[in-house]
């Protein structure tokens, strides 16, 4: 479901309340091992919840565009530790 050329999708994702609770419940099926470990390095509980909710939302949105399950999205780290998708992802398409 990629937007047509010239159209940009902007998303607003709630990172607290029921939406965050739902994201936390789905995190086990959605996040990879590195992502699941990351919140443990954050000091504040609310920061851990927000980080997890944001990452689950990101994977869920990308999955909708790529047509795959959120947990099947592979990722890589590029220059300056910027996240991205490998050149050939789970869908056989180029980078997202």
Measure the CA–CA gap between 22 and 68, rounded to whole angstroms.
20
- Give me Rg for the CA atoms of the chain: 14
Domain that residue 48 falls in: 17-84
Q: pTM for this structure?
A: 0.76
Token pair, residue 84, equals 């991205």
pLDDT tens readout for residues 16-40: 888 888 888 888 899 988 888 888 8
User: By the 8 A CB rule, do 1 and 65 touch?
Assistant: yes
Number of domains making up the chain: 1
Per-residue pLDDT of the chain (96 residues; tens, 9 = 90+): 667 788 888 989 888 888 888 888 888 899 988 888 888 899 999 899 999 999 999 899 888 888 889 888 887 766 655 556 665 555 444 444
Answer yes or no: is 93 within a domain: no
Residue 65's CATH number: 3.90.470.20
């Amino acid at each position: 479901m990629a937007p047509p050329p010239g159209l940009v999708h902007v998303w607003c994702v709630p990172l607290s309340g029921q939406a965050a609770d739902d994201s936390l419940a789905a995190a086990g099926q959605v996040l990879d091992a590195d992502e699941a470990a990351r919140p443990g390095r954050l000091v504040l509980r609310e920061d851990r919840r927000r980080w997890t909710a944001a990452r689950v939302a990101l994977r869920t949105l990308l999955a909708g565009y790529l047509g795959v399950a959120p947990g099947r999205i592979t990722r890589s780290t590029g220059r300056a530790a910027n996240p991205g998708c490998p050149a050939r992802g789970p869908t056989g398409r180029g980078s997202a």
